[in-house]
Amino acid sequence: MPRDPVCGMNVNEDRAAGRSEYRGRSYYFCSDRCKMEFDRTPDRYATPGETERRDDRTGRSGRTGDSS
Ligand SMILES: [Zn+2]
């Protein structure tokens, strides 16, 4: 079952309120609001792929230890 990348809940494809494609992947959303949020900043939510590793060639890590 696909997961809503915005809020993290599982979304049934048949019941998804919205769907977006980004970089060749499909994302399903529980509500229009989540879809809008995703469409606004897809980079923030899109995952590069479960099997893809992030080897850090750019020298920039997404984890800088920011604690809010
Ligand atoms: Zn959602």
Predicted model pTM: 0.67
In words, the CATH class of domain 1-49 is: mainly beta
Q: Give me the residue spans of the domains in the chain.
A: 1-49
Average pLDDT over residues 54-63: 56
Tell which residue, 37, 30, 26, has the closest CA to residue 10. Answer: 30
47-68 exposure pattern, b = at least 16 Cβ within 10 A, e = fewer? eeeeeeeeeeeeeeeeeeeeee
Q: What percent of the chain has pLDDT over 90?
A: 63
How far is 31 from 19, CA to CA, in rounded Å? 10
Confidence category of residue 61, pLDDT binned at 50, 70, 90? low
Question: How far is the centre of ligand 1, averaged over its atoms, from the C-alpha of 57 (Å)?
Answer: 32
Confidence category of residue 64, pLDDT binned at 50, 70, 90? low
Question: How far is the centre of ligand 1, averaged over its atoms, from the C-alpha of 38 (Å)?
Answer: 10
Confidence category of residue 47, pLDDT binned at 50, 70, 90? confident
Confidence category of residue 52, pLDDT binned at 50, 70, 90? very low
Specify whether the CB–CB gap between 29 and 17 falls below 8 A: yes
